[in-house]
Amino acid sequence: MPADKDCLFCRIIAGDIPCQRIYEDEHTFAFMDINPASTGHALIIPREHARTIHELSPEALAATALSAQKVATAVRDTLTPDGINLLQCNEPAAGQTVFHFHLHVIPRSKGDGLALGWPISPGDMDAVAGLAARLRTRLNG
Ligand code: 5GP
Ligand code: ZN
């Protein structure tokens, strides 16, 4: 029985929807992305259903990060890519299309042209310092 019967990834964990599973443990599940950005593109998800990083329990987040490290190492050892990106999207404005928290492992090769970057240009350092002060207050009181 899926944790959330309307959630695609809960249904994949439950076995209701087929996938190419590569790893699972008590708290996490990993499988190949159906629309790979590159050869070896994999997804790691917590068994716990949570829409974004904000709703996910710290324990499930930690377990998912550890599984992502295992998957990334297996991808590195098996496919020997030039590099690997970990990607995680929250809300449609950030590119999220499936609303069950997940980490992408995306193998990269030199010159593959995948657009995950942004142009390097200096920020307004006064604005950056002001924002850092606000965040320090939020994080540390
Ligand atoms: P997001 O855009 O939410 O960060 O990533 C969702 C990912 O899930 C996409 O890369 C998409 O290709 C993948 N995806 C969507 N539906 C399925 C599916 O049914 N099976 C698998 N294996 N991947 C899926
Ligand atoms: Zn779910």
Count each helix (H run) and each strand (E run) in the chain, helices first. Answer: 3, 5
d(CA 19, CA 1): 17
8-111 fold = HIT family, subunit A (3.30.428)
Among 102, 101, 49, 97, residue whose Cα is nearest residue 71: 102
At residue 2, the pLDDT reads: 67
pLDDT of residue 116: 73
- Sorted by where each begins, the domain ranges of the chain are 8-111
Residue 126 has, within 13 A of its CA and on its CB side, a CA count of 0
Is the Cα torsion angle 103, 93, 53, 26 positive or negative in sign? negative
Q: Check if 33 has its Cβ closer than 6 Å to any atom of ligand 1.
A: yes
Residue ranges in the chain assigned as alpha helix (H) = 8-14, 58-79, 125-140
CB 95 less than 6 A from any atom of ligand 1: yes
User: pLDDT tens digits, residue range 15-43?
Assistant: 999 999 999 999 999 999 999 999 999 99
Q: Which residue type does 54 have?
A: H
The dihedrals phi and psi of 134, each to the nearest 5 degrees, come to: -65, -40
pTM of the prediction? 0.95
**In the prediction, which pLDDT does 1 show?**
56
Q: How many CB atoms lie within 10 A of CB 51?
A: 16
Cα 34 to middle of ligand 1, angstroms: 6
Q: How far apart are CA 32 and CA 28, in angstroms?
A: 14
The pLDDT of residue 97: 97
- Judge whether 54 counts as a catalytic residue: no
Intervals of the chain under pLDDT 50: none
